[in-house]
Amino acid sequence: MRSLLSALVFAALAAPCLAQESDANDDYLVCAPEQTAQGRAIVRQACGDLDVPEASAPYFTSLDELESARAIRQAYRARIIDYTACVSDFIESHHQPGTAPASLAPDQAACAHSWAENEATQAMREFGRACVDFSNRTVMDSRLTPWSGECYPAMPKGSG
């Protein structure tokens, strides 16, 4: 009885610690939301704004839904790549001779870049989790057409 009570107390104390660890990994941001908003405003004229697409269902009920979400994810990923390239060019342009060395624009723009990279990560993660879930369900449910594609984008060779 005493060991059972000890195990329950230990589990009760350890559970919040484990939850905090996983939350910290998912919610890590380089810049505060206010700084991110400033950075996005600064690069908006040069790079436009990166509109976040409507969140697709985190649970696919058909192969068509999964393929539609995949196309949306790929298009969004392409927009993020273009946006971050533009933000990088914006930052580089402020490091050229003749520009004001005390300008905060490059640092603020870096927050917009970081935000866009985080958006890409979130989009890939959400789609990947829902895709893996769908793939797992197709094993058990013969009414579902199996998915034969990748749930997460492949890393380019030599990049990781």
Answer whether residue 158 shows pLDDT above 80: no
CB 6: neighbour CB atoms within 10 A?
10
123-147, pLDDT tens digit by residue? 899 999 999 999 999 999 989 999 8
- Confirm whether 78 is domain-assigned: yes
Using CA atoms, how far residue 10 sits from 6, 7, 15, 75, 83, in Å, is: 6, 5, 9, 47, 48
For residue 80, give every residue at least 6 positions away whose Cβ sits within 8 Å of its Cβ, in sequence order, or none: 50, 116, 117, 119, 120, 123
What is the pTM for the complete model shown? 0.73
Lowest mean pLDDT, pick from 3-7, 31-35, 121-125: 3-7
- Confirm whether 137 is domain-assigned: yes
The predicted structure's pLDDT at residue 58? 75
Reported residue count of the chain is: 160
For residue 21, give every residue at least 6 positions away whose Cβ sits within 8 Å of its Cβ, in sequence order, or none: none
Q: Provide the domain count of the chain.
A: 1
- Confirm whether 85 is domain-assigned: yes
- Confirm whether 119 is domain-assigned: yes
Cβ(29)–Cβ(103) below 8 Å: no
The predicted structure's pLDDT at residue 4? 42
- Confirm whether 19 is domain-assigned: no
Burial classification of residue 96, based on how many CB atoms lie within 10 Å of its CB (0-12 exposed, 13-18 middle, 19 or more buried)? exposed
Look up the domain containing 102 and give its range. Answer: 30-45+57-144
The predicted structure's pLDDT at residue 94? 83
